[in-house]
Structure 1
Amino acid sequence: MKFYDKGFIYKYSDYTQVQIFSAGTVVLDMKIYENRVCKSTFKCQDLKTFNRENLNKSYNEMFLKNLFDKNEKEVVHRDKENNILIKIRRD
């Protein structure tokens, strides 16, 4: 998955929602729960399966949720070994 556009991160009591837009169209709408990830383009997956298929099987199950739950202005995760770069910049 590669996205370089603007988006929103919404934090709710039981999940975090990530929406990314390109030219005003939603290109990613993902809800991250404690035990699963749900995207509008596929059924929900447990976190381990999501990591294996989209990141790397070595990633901790809570990696994605913890990454988006950080309240820092800029979050950068660089994994050169697996060729993964995730940048989150908050306005």
Structure 2
Amino acid sequence: MKFYDKGFIFKYKEYTQVQIFNAGTAILDMKIYEDKVCRSTFKCQDLKTFNKENLASSYPDNFLKELFDRNEKEVSFKDKENGVFIKIIRD
């Protein structure tokens, strides 16, 4: 997955929702729960499977949720070995 556009991060009690838009069209709508990730383009996956297919199987199950739940203005994660780069800048 590669996205370089604007989006929103919504934090709810039961999940964190990430929406990314390009030219006003949603290109990613993902809900991250404690035990699964659901995207509008496919059915929900458990965290281990999601990490294996989209990030790296060595990542902890809660990696993605913890990354998006940080309250810092800028969050950056780079893993050259697995080709993963995630940068979140909050306005």
Tell me what 1:65 maps to. Answer: 65
TM-score by length of 2: 0.99
TM-score by length of 1: 0.99
Aligned mates of 1:33, 1:50 — CA distance in 2: 12
Runs of 4+ in 1 over 6 A off after TM superposition: none
Give the 3-state SS of the residue equivalent to 2:31 in structure 1.
strand
Sequence identity of aligned pairs in percent?
74
Tell me what 2:86 maps to. Answer: 86
The aligned length equals 91
- Name the amino acid aligned to 2:74: E
* Deviation, structure 1 residue 9: 0.1
Tell me what 1:3 maps to. Answer: 3
Tell me what 1:23 maps to. Answer: 23
- RMSD, aligned CA: 0.3
Q: Which runs of 5+ in 1 are unaligned?
A: none
- Name the amino acid aligned to 2:14: D
Once the two structures are superposed, residues 27-79 of structure 1 have per-residue CA deviations (whole angstroms, 9 ceiling, x without a partner) of 00000000000000000000000000000100000000000000000000000
